[in-house]
Every structure is written in C-alpha cells, then in structure tokens.
C-alpha cells in the first residue's frame, strides 16, 4: 500500500507557474553559473561553496551545480573565479533582467480561468484549503493551525480520507510543503495532489480504494513567513524570517534545523549562510510545530518533503554514507516512482540516497525516517525528499508554459 500511495502522488503531481509578486529586492548584476564538480579540485569547490556571495541554486546527480553570484556581497570576486575555470559557464547574465522578463510574461496573460493557472499568496492558499474542506466534509478535514510561525502566521493542516476508512486503524501518508520559500512549485504540487484526490474520489476507483485505506495529512506551509516574504520582498528568499542575535542576516534554513543528526555536516553555523542550521536543533517554531504534528499522527507509513528543483527522488540518509536499515526497500520504491514519472510525464528523475548528492544533516526527510520521529511505532516512516521540475532552464521561476 505504501508503494501505491507514493507512486500515485508522483503520477498526479503537476508543475505550474503564474503571476507576478510585488517584490522590493532587485538582483541587478547577479549572475548564475553552471559548474561541473568533477572538473574542480576540493579546494576550488570549498572556495565556491563557502564564498559569501554564493547562493547555491541546485546540485544534480551528474555532478553539475548551479550557483548565483550576489553582487551586493562581493559577487564580482566570485565571478572572476568562475569565469577563470573551464569547469563553469554562465547561464544567466543578469538575474534581475531574467526575473523581470518572466514576471512580465506572466502579467501579460489574461485573467486565469482556473485556480492552477497561476501561483497564489499565503492568504489565498489558506482560504482555498479552508473552502475545500467546507465543500467536501465527508473526505476533507481542515485544521486551522498546528502552531504559529515566528511572525505569528498560522500553519494549517489538511486531512483527506475516504468515508469508509476507520480513524483507529488507518495508516497515514504525510506531506509537508514550501519549506524553502522560493520553491513555489512545492506548495502548488501539494494543492494539485489534494485537489486530484478529493475531486476524483467519487469517480476513480483507484482513488476511492486509496482513500478508503489510508489518510493523507498535508501541511501546506512549513515556512509561511518566508513564503509570504517572497511575495512582498525577495522572490529568491530561501530561509524563514528569524532575527538572528548578533547578526544583521536573517533566517534559518529549516531543512537543516530538524532534530535528526543536527549540525553533523552539510549545514552552516554562519547566520548569513543559506544553509544556516540555527542556534540549536528544532530551534524554530515552525520546525517544532511540524515535528509535533508528525508524531501526533502516527501511524505514518510514508512522508514526502516537497522541494524544487533538479528532478530528484532522495532517500535517507543525508548525513552518512552508511545505508539505512531499509535501504533495499527505499531504493526499490524510489526506482518505481522514477519509472512511473518517466512513463506518464516523460520527465527524467533520478532516485538516489541524499548523501549521494551532497552531505546534509538536520533535514526533514531524515527526521521522518529517524527513530526519534517513530518512537512507539512498529516501523519507520519511509522518508523522501522530492525535488520537482525543472533541471535548471527556469529553476525557481517556472513559466506558465510548464503548467
């Protein structure tokens, strides 16, 4: 059942893009480079990754990575380094021009006729889930808040289950969305899956069988403050909006803040870093809220933390090369999802261990699978990170044509 549940989610997961945010941050002079890590020595990689002007956009299974150079943080110095090495080439010459052109293209489209014809704000998405539950009381239950964010925004949850499923015996699938603020397709995909399950329950026997057997638990906003800020401030903001003591730099990378091997590699103690892990494990209210709700909703058999971009299906572990106790099963399930996505959408995804991409610790998907999250359970939840479309042509700014 766990296999069929996660596979169905991959089949229905769609990618869409849309309207223009009202941002106050500009990216004049910022550039994006693509580099081949196999052509760089360790010292060169360290110099790039640790440079204060480096904003890592994506890393791929083939060893290539995308990095944005931030002009306001001595980006020219980093650009000189990247221009000098044959391992790197520029893909975007001016990020401001690139994003402005994408925004202009989106705003030139006539008023969308369907909900999934554009992106939506925090307030709009909250209301959409609330209305969906009100209109589908037999299959949807809306939880107004599992806790508040650092800036006081509610983190809602949504439960989807069939009419004949039993509360006491049903297994659950857990999704959390929008942990990295700029990855708008993450939240859009979660909405698409929820909408598909609810609207097809009465007409698709596969969906009915699924929802009569398991319950989906969805947390639409893992990082509500960061997401809101991408609409009214910085479209490329990644972290939450924590005020860091002793630093002018704001935010914690919530996907390095979970209480699973926190600060054991692949994160930073520098508050200015995009992978700043915070002052302690689960220091962020948003992390505490999602960890608590996850445990409260056992038995959970599978969990996905939705991200973009690079088209990857990542399984534990991220902090060590040692195989997880269920490596064979997790690998097999990941390969099945990859094959079905290819057959249905024609999109090539890569399934691999998280650490095969790069070391990480304190991540949500490792925590889903770790013993701390599954105490008292007869089995661990199968934890995955899924990096959605695309592979870098549009990155975080998918155009309407990708809908």
Burial tier of 4 (Cβ tally within 10 Å: 0-12, 13-18, 19+): middle
Residue 387: CA count within 13 A, CB half-sphere: 25
**Which residue in 183, 284, 286, 387 is the catalytic one?**
387
Instruction: Find the helix packing angle between 184-200 and 2-12, rounded to 10°.
Output: 110
Phi first, then psi, for residue 317 (nearest 5°) are -105, 165
- 58's enclosing H/E stretch is strand 54-59
Helices (H), 258-392: 285-296, 327-345, 364-369
Do the Cβ atoms of 336 and 3 come closer than 8 Å? yes
Do the Cβ atoms of 345 and 7 come closer than 8 Å? no
Separation between Cα atoms, residue 147 and residue 150, nearest integer Å: 10
Do the Cβ atoms of 271 and 349 come closer than 8 Å? no
Residues 6+ apart with CB under 8 A from 117: 16, 18, 109, 400, 403
Whether 123 sits among the annotated catalytic residues: the reply is: no
Burial tier of 45 (Cβ tally within 10 Å: 0-12, 13-18, 19+): middle
Do the Cβ atoms of 384 and 334 come closer than 8 Å? yes
In DSSP notation, 200-223 reads: HTTT-HHHHHHHTTEEEEEES-SS
Tokens 């397709």 sit on residue:
185
Within 10 angstroms of residue 110's Cβ, the number of other Cβ atoms is 6
Task: List the catalytic residues.
Answer: 387
């Amino acid at each position: 059942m766990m296999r069929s549940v996660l596979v169905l989610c991959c089949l229905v997961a769609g990618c869409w893009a849309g309207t223009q945010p009202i941002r106050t941050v500009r990216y004049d002079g910022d550039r994006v480079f693509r580099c081949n890590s196999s052509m760089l020595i360790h010292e060169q990689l360290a110099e790039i990754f640790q440079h204060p002007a480096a904003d890592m956009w994506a890393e791929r299974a083939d060893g290539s990575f995308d990095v944005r150079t931030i002009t306001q943080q001595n980006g020219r110095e980093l650009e000189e380094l990247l221009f000098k090495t044959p391992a790197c080439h520029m893909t975007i010459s001016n990020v401001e021009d690139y994003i402005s052109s994408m925004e202009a293209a989106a705003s030139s489209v006539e008023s969308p006729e369907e909900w999934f014809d554009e992106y939506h704000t925090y307030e709009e998405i909250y209301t959409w889930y609330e209305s969906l539950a009100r209109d589908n009381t037999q299959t949807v239950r809306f939880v107004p808040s599992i806790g508040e964010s650092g800036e006081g925004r509610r983190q809602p949850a949504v439960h989807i289950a069939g009419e004949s499923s039993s509360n006491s015996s049903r297994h659950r699938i857990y999704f959390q969305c929008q942990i990295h603020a700029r990855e708008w397709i993450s939240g859009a995909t979660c909405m698409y899956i929820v909408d598909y399950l609810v609207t097809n329950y009465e007409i698709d026997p596969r969906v009915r069988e699924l929802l009569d057997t398991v319950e989906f638990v969805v947390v639409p906003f893992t990082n509500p403050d960061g997401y809101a800020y991408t609409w009214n401030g910085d479209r490329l903001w990644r972290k939450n909006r924590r005020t860091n003591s002793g630093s002018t730099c704001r935010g914690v990378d919530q996907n390095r803040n979970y209480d699973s091997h926190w600060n054991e590699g692949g994160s930073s103690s520098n508050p200015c870093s995009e992978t700043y892990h915070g002052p302690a494990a689960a220091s962020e209210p948003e992390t505490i809220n999602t960890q608590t709700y996850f445990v409260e909703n056992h038995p959970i058999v599978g969990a996905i933390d939705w991200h973009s971009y690079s088209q990857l299906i990542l399984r534990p572990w991220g902090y060590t090369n040692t195989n997880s106790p269920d490596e064979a099963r997790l690998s097999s399930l990941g390969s099945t999802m990859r094959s079905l996505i290819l057959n249905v959408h024609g999109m090539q995804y890569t399934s691999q261990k998280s650490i095969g991409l790069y070391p990480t610790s304190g991540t949500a998907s490792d925590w889903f699978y770790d013993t701390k999250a599954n105490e008292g359970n007869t089995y661990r939840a199968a934890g995955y990170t899924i990096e959605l479309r695309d592979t870098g042509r549009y990155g975080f700014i998918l155009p309407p044509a990708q809908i």
